[in-house]
Each structure stands twice: as structure tokens, then as C-alpha cells.
Structure 1
């Protein structure tokens, strides 16, 4: 059984995956508000029985690594997954300085790129199973990525340096994180990235219109749920025609993966969703509803 949680941290991202193997993964963090201590305590508690904990940094923006120095002090980061870079910033915050320290520590940093493999990220052995994580992007030889990296290393822009991180279980449920990729960049790399049907997609750039997932991507991903982050409502794109969960309304979102089911919980007791099936779950407070995972096999026409 796997638990995936998306914390409501305002204009930022903090996720974790409590894998159904001996793995625990944190994807990005924004730990600068009044809930930071509570979030860190939960991360410590949920990872306590796991042998491997990793932190995946999608890209070097402060709302994706804010407070990382606090997290590292409380639960030391020994496995820091990051796109290789030499990014600079005019305003070097404490969190950015700590990000750079982890990024440049060859004993802790593992540089991620399209198709990379690592024990126990996507390779298992007799000691422990795979975490089921696949890196779909960046292709470090791609000219569009090279341009985005150059912008970051010149201190101009950082969004299009984002890694694409996909997690999938043996039972078929899959999740995709897009970081802060922007629409025009996604359109440029459509033919250079391998996209497959995915159960839950976290919309790029916190759900902003500037990070609208292109239709060419959505046709391949065919998501059952798109999660929209906490950007101001006037900046959001709502993906008409898809089941959508908006974190502005739902608050913290917990996904409980059980066989071919995804049970969804919200920290907002008043949140509801008509598009989800009621399967009478009570593992956590705030049950919203469930979906049955579709995959390429269940979607094939009957023969």
C-alpha cells in the first residue's frame, strides 16, 4: 500500500510518497509558513520505518526548496536528486545557499536526467524493492533544455529546467509531477518526451494558465484526475472535461493507493467532489471519494 500526500503550502509545493517498498520520497518543499514544523514532524514520522529516504528537487525556485535547511537539520538529507546545474541568483536566500550546498555535494547529490537508473529509485534487489520512480525529463542533450539551463545559470529564469517525475505501482496507479514547466516549452519538447497514460497529474506551475498542459500531452496522458495547485484563482486553468481537484479548496490532499483503487482524502472537512465514487473509506479523516485505476489494458475495446 502506498500513500501520496500533497500539502497545501500556499504558492509552493511539498509532496511525499510513502512507498509500498522500503522507500520514502519527498518531492520539493516550501516550509516557510506557520505549518512548517507540523509538516516536518509528519515527514519524520511517516519515513521512520523506511530504509531509504530521498529528496527530489524538480527545479531551483525558492517555492520548491524553501526551508530545506530546516528539513535537513531535522531529518538529514542523504540522497538529494537534482538536475545538474550551476544556477545563480541575485538574491541568495538561506534556502538557496543550502540547496547549492546539497546540489554540489557529490556524496549526497544524484543528478537526474531522462531515463536515468539508480538503486533503489527504479532498481530493486534482494535487499529492498524499487521505489517505482522514473525520470522522463530532462534530456540533457536537447537544445531546448540547454537553452533553459543557460537561462538558469545566467540567473534569468528557472521554470523550464524542471524535471518530470513519474511514479507507478505494480497495480497500475501512476502519478506525474511537472514542476513549473511552461506551456510553450512543453509544446517544444512534445516529440522528445515519452508520455503514457497516467492516473493523477499535478498540473505544471501550480495550475497557472502559463503552465497549461498542452492538448498534445493530455491526449497521451489521458489523466483521470488533474490536481491544480494554490496559485491565485484568477491565474488558474481549470481543464474543462477532466476531473479536477483544486488545492485552494481541498487543502492537504492524501491519496491512498490500494490495489487498483485510489482513495482520496482532504484536510478541508467541507470539501466534496461529485465525480468520485463513494466507497465508504475511513482510514483517514476527510474522505472525499475514490477512483478505479484505468490503464492501457482496461481501456482496450472488448474482443
Structure 2
């Protein structure tokens, strides 16, 4: 059993994976308000029995590392997974300075397409692998190199985002795309390995600027697309796909058990008519389940 949670933290991202192995992963951080203490307490509680923890930074945008100094103070970051960059920002914030300290320090592990690391995707006698793989960036790719140049000069940061995939053995798979933009995804479609994936978190919080192109969707064939938090007028709603919109759902908790995913949300008034109702109550506000498909449906 694996638990994946997407917190409702405004126009930003914060996820955790409580793996079915001795691993715990946090992806991005946006601690900006009244919920900070509550979220940090939950992260501490969910990770306390895990032997290895990691923080994955998809890219150096403020809404993906805001409050990282608070998180590090209460739940020390010992493994900082990050795309190698030299991003600059003006003015520098406390959170950006802390991000840079982690990025440039001894706790950093620079991620890239196909990288291998003990307990991320290599198990041993001590503990199993986490099930995480890094699909992007290819640091030799022209489009990535141009995105990195813009990042390092402070122009833009979205397209240095890592693509992260989690796979539960014989169960669901989940993908994070950071803030990749549509044109960039189209440009790299032939240089990234994409396969059928159960749940995809839409790029750039679900904004139209990060619409996942059809060339990707045909390969991913997702059963659920999670549309993140952003003003509704900026969102792309992926007609023809099952979606969960975090603006309406609030926190989303996914319970991955065998070949099932059970969904719970923090908004008690949110409902979803296209999921299977298995009558569960493990967490509050159950909205339905899916059975993982292994064959393409497109």
C-alpha cells in the first residue's frame, strides 16, 4: 500500500509519497499561510517510521520551494534531489536563498533522465527501491539546454522542470510534470520515454500554458488527470478524460492498494460521478475508486 497526497496550498505544489517500502518522498513545497504548521506536522507523522526520506525539487520557481526553510527546520532535508542549475532571482527571498544552499550543498543529488540511485530505483538487502524514476531532463537535449540558459540568466524557470514517475509494483503509476509548457513538451516528445500512466498531475497546475499535448496524452493514456490550483480562467479541463480539479476538491489523498486507487478529498461537498463507489471510509470524504488499466484504451 502506498499513500500519495496532494495538498491544497494555493497556486503552488506540495506532494508526498508514503511508499510501500522503507521510503518517504516529498515533491516540491509551497508553505505560505495558516496551514504551514498543520502540513509540517502531517509530514513528520507520515515519515517518522521510514528509514530514508528525500525531497524532490522539480524546478526553481518560488511557488515550488516557498517555505522550504520552515520545512527543513522541523523535518531536516537530508537528500535534496534537484535538476542541476544556477538559477538567479532578484530580489532574493529567504526561501530562494535556502533552496540555493541545498542545491549547491553536500545534500544535493542532481537528477537527470535515466539516473540511478540506491533506494530511489535500486533496491538492496537493506531496503527496497522507492519505485521512482526520472524521465527528464536529458541534459544533452538542445531544448533543455536553451531552457537551462534562460533559467540561469533569470529569464524563466518552467522548462527546466523534471518529469518524475512513480510506479507501484503490479499497481498504479503516477506522473509529475512540474511546470513544463506545451510547446516545450511538443519539442521533446521524441526524446522522452512515455508509457501508459494511471494518474497524471497536469503541468503548470493545469493551466492552458502547460496543456499536455496530444502527442503525450496518446502515449500516457491516463485514467485520471489532476488539474491543480490556479484561477479557473487559466485552466485547461481535458475534455474526454476523467479529471479531479484541486480548486474544488481541496487536498487529494490517493490510497494505492494492489490494482486499485481509492480517492479521498478534504472538501466534504465535492463529489465525482465517474469513479467506482466501493463504499470505503479509511479516510474522510471518500469520492470513489478506479481499477488500474494495463491496456491502452485510446
Give TM class, smaller chain: over 0.9
Q: 1:11-33: per-residue Cα shift (whole Å, max 9, x none)?
A: 00000000000000000010011
Does the CA contact (< 8 Å) of 2:255 and 2:261 recur in 1?
yes
What is the rounded CA distance, in whole Å, between the counterparts of 1:38 and 1:65 in structure 2? 17
For structure 1, which runs of at least 5 residues remain unmatched after alignment? none
1:296 deviates by 3.5
- Tell me, what secondary structure is at the counterpart of 1:117? coil
- Tell me, what secondary structure is at the counterpart of 1:5? strand
What is the rounded CA distance, in whole Å, between the counterparts of 2:221 and 2:296 in structure 1? 14
What is the rounded CA distance, in whole Å, between the counterparts of 1:102 and 1:52 in structure 2? 17
Q: Does 1:129 align with 2:122?
A: no
Q: Does 1:271 align with 2:270?
A: yes
Does the CA contact (< 8 Å) of 2:13 and 2:29 recur in 1?
yes
Counterparts in 2 of 1:132 and 1:81: CA distance versus 1, 3 Å? same
What is the rounded CA distance, in whole Å, between the counterparts of 1:297 and 1:243 in structure 2? 15
Counterparts of 1:256-267 in structure 2 under 5 Å?
256-267=255-266
Does the CA contact (< 8 Å) of 1:138 and 1:163 recur in 2?
yes
For structure 2, which runs of at least 5 residues remain unmatched after alignment? none
1:91 deviates by 1.6
Aligned to 1:197: 196
What is the rounded CA distance, in whole Å, between the counterparts of 1:281 and 1:79 in structure 2? 35
- Tell me, what secondary structure is at the counterpart of 1:201? strand
1:297 deviates by 8.4
What is the rounded CA distance, in whole Å, between the counterparts of 1:165 and 1:62 in structure 2? 19
Counterparts of 1:1-303 in structure 2 under 5 Å?
1-106=1-106, 108-296=107-295
Q: 1:237-290: per-residue Cα shift (whole Å, max 9, x none)?
A: 000000000000000000000110000001000110011000111100010000
What is the rounded CA distance, in whole Å, between the counterparts of 1:60 and 1:264 in structure 2? 30
What is the rounded CA distance, in whole Å, between the counterparts of 1:164 and 1:259 in structure 2? 24
Task: Tell me how large the CA RMSD over aligned residues is.
Answer: 1.0
Q: 1:40-66: per-residue Cα shift (whole Å, max 9, x none)?
A: 000000000000010000000010000
Q: 1:131-153: per-residue Cα shift (whole Å, max 9, x none)?
A: 00000000000010000000000
Q: TM-score, normalised by structure 1?
A: 0.97
Q: 1:182-207: per-residue Cα shift (whole Å, max 9, x none)?
A: 00000000100000000000000000
Counterparts in 2 of 1:298 and 1:210: CA distance versus 1, 3 Å? closer
Does the CA contact (< 8 Å) of 1:162 and 1:181 recur in 2?
yes
Does the CA contact (< 8 Å) of 2:221 and 2:296 recur in 1?
no
Does the CA contact (< 8 Å) of 2:167 and 2:174 recur in 1?
yes
- Tell me, what secondary structure is at the counterpart of 2:147? helix
